[in-house]
Amino acid sequence: MDFDKATEFEDFNTILKGILAYLRKQNCDESMADNQEALVSEVIDFFETQAKLKRKLLQIGIALSAEQNIEALLEMIVSEAMNFTNADGGTLYIVSHDEKSLHFKIVQNRTLNVKIGGASGDDIPFLPVALYKADGSKNKNNVSAYVALTGETINFSDVYEVEGFDFKGTKDYDKHNNYRSRSMLVTPMKNHEHEIIGVLQLINAGDGYGNVIPFSPDYQFLIESLASQAAIAITNTSLIHELKALLDSFVRVIAEAVDKKSPYTGGHIRRVAELTLDIARELCNSNDEKWENFCLNPDEENELKIASWMHDIGKITTPEYVVDKSTKLETIYDRINTAIAKIEIFKRDIEIKYLKKKAELEAEHGGNGQSALQKLDEDFAVRMEELDDDMEFLKKANIGGEFISDEKIERIQKIASYKITVDGKAEPILNEEEVNNLSIRRGTLTDEERKIIMDHVVVTFKMLNQLPWPKKMKNIPLYASEHHEKLDGTGYPNRVPAEKLSTQSRIMAIADIFEALTAADRPYRPGKKLSECIKIIELMVKDRHIDKDLTEFFITSEILARYTKKEMKEYQIDKFVYNGKEYTFL
């Protein structure tokens, strides 16, 4: 007989069956053969049972490792352990973060029809079990606390006959529910680092005929193995959830840091992220056939969420004076004050010349030079008035609230030609860089500064693309960096055409534009009224800058109404007309 291949535990029954066949071929006494056959058959049955239990344990282990919902995982552990041992009840405790108590997570009892905790969401009305007494000593009187503290498995045939442990709580529960707890198996849940993370407690093993029996040593060993697998599964699942929570928190902290760079854009990233997710979720839930193929699973929604929270991360490298540039001459400070100070010096220089000239005329002509003096006074007054008007003109031009014409640019250049003497050197009222800034046709940014602002999406992509995103998050750099692309291919940074723009990127573009239009905290303008924003949005749709269908869905669904009431100021909310229909959120 070849026994070499029968090396696995499941193959032992094959070996025994071979032995049995061998014995039958021998010239043995019939009674002896019958005894041997009965013995071997019993051994075969034992090993077949063990093999089934082993397979079942492996199946449970696979199921545990596949479950990602921590509450469902805890519930599965108790249910499978009860099924495994035919137990009537089961309780699962988890060690608290401070390792000072055990918290009830799952409580089940078939006879009493109790199933609380876990995925059910029902609160467990039991206080945590203290691991330490008031004096700091270990609480070894409570059996679950004892197991958590020592790491030993406890197996009682009848808890009412046990000394050394306090089962008052168990007995009170039995009395209140007309129940009788007898056999109990309590085992620690140790993870791969040999840390006890919880305790599994089983009550009243059954024999299959309605009788309560003790938990057998074989079942104890298997339950200890199951508890160890469960502890590892819980640790792994908890670690995944903790890492996800850490990533989410890190993303939000970075986003907040970007927003905090400017006192004027605080909340921009949050508003864009929330609006993006709101539109995406409503699309997924929409019954409109246009969106029947758009459905984000939890991983895809999380991918879009992180991308929207990270869409402006490139602004970390953008200088604050560009982000915060509320006036044309603002850098670290608003240089309009320097320009005004120079004009004041220029006025003083003119005044000094005027006073000197006046003194000369009076000395030369005495009382006979009245006409010359009068002309001098008039010219001086006119010049002062002109310079005062120049100062007001520069202040207004610096704001950037209106279009600057060629005529006004010529005036700026004329003012710049005025010179004052500083430290013995002639210095213009405005240098070339200041003239260029004041000559900005609209807004407050120069072409160079606008490019710096635009480059934030390039930096965003570079920064995010360097990170080792898992497969389920691979599109984050792309979505985050495409919110300034346009359907007509004229957007930036890559002029991506419409056919290559994902729905997610199109959604974020709409959210970013609408937030920017309605934001009431920008330094260079007040928040626009809702009707103004809708008109601008319609023009952008007409010019194929943003998606028409998505824009219509956003405006005509409840999304816009919710956003308006939550984020916009009262003075901004007015009636508007879209596609010939009047809307009001007042």
| Residue ranges of domains in the chain | 9-56, 70-240, 261-314+456-583, 336-444
Place of tokens 């430290």: 423
Residues 6 or more apart whose CB falls under 8 angstroms from that of 356 comprise: none
Rounded Cα distance, 154 and 248, in Å: 41
Query: Residues 411, 429: contact at Cβ < 8 Å?
Result: no
Q: Does 261-314+456-583 carry CATH code 1.10.3210.10? A: yes
Same fold, 70-240 and 261-314+456-583: no
For the record, the structure tokens of 290 come out as 């246009």
Nearest residue to 483 (alpha-carbon basis) of 247, 272, 265 = 272
Cis peptide, bond prior to residue 298, ω within 30 of zero: no
Rounded to 5 degrees, φ, ψ at 568 are -95, 150
Q: What is the pLDDT of residue 322?
A: 75
The pLDDT value given to residue 281: 96
Q: What is the pTM of this model?
A: 0.69
For the stretch 402-454, pLDDT in tens is: 778 889 889 999 999 888 888 888 888 898 888 888 888 877 777 787 888 78
pLDDT tens sequence across 151-177:
999 999 999 999 889 999 899 999 999
Give the C-alpha distances (Å, rounded to integers) separating 463 from 109, 196, 300, 310, 500.
Answer: 54, 40, 21, 10, 22
The answer to whether 476 and 251 have CB atoms below 8 angstroms apart is no
- Would you give the end-to-end CA distance of the chain in angstroms? 91
What is the widest separation between alpha-carbon atoms in the chain? 163
Beta carbons of 12 and 47 less than 8 angstroms apart:
yes
Instruction: Supply the pLDDT for residue 3.
Output: 39
Instruction: Give the pLDDT of residue 5.
Output: 39
Which residues in the chain land under pLDDT 50? 1-10
Cβ pair 197, 235 in contact under 8 A: yes
- Which residues have CB under 8 Å from 330's CB, separation 6+? 321, 324, 444
pLDDT score, position 438: 87
What is the reported pLDDT for 435?
A: 87
What is the spatial distance between Cα 119 and Cα 3, in angstroms, rounded to a whole number?
A: 49
When the candidates are 3.30.450.40, 2.40.30.40, 3.40.50.2300, 3.50.50.100, the CATH number that belongs to 70-240 is 3.30.450.40
**Both tokens assigned to 260:** 């905090």
Q: 315-349 burial, b for 16+ CB within 10 Å, e for fewer? A: beebeeebbbbbbbbbeeeebbeebbebbebbbee
Rounded Cα gap, residues 170 and 389, in angstroms: 91
Distance CA 145, CA 154 (A): 11
578: helix, coil or strand? strand
Mapped onto helix, strand or coil, the DSSP state of residue 380 is helix
**Angle (nearest 5°) at CA 223 between 218 and 225:** 100
* pLDDT of res. 179: 96
Tell me, what's the pLDDT at 1? 38
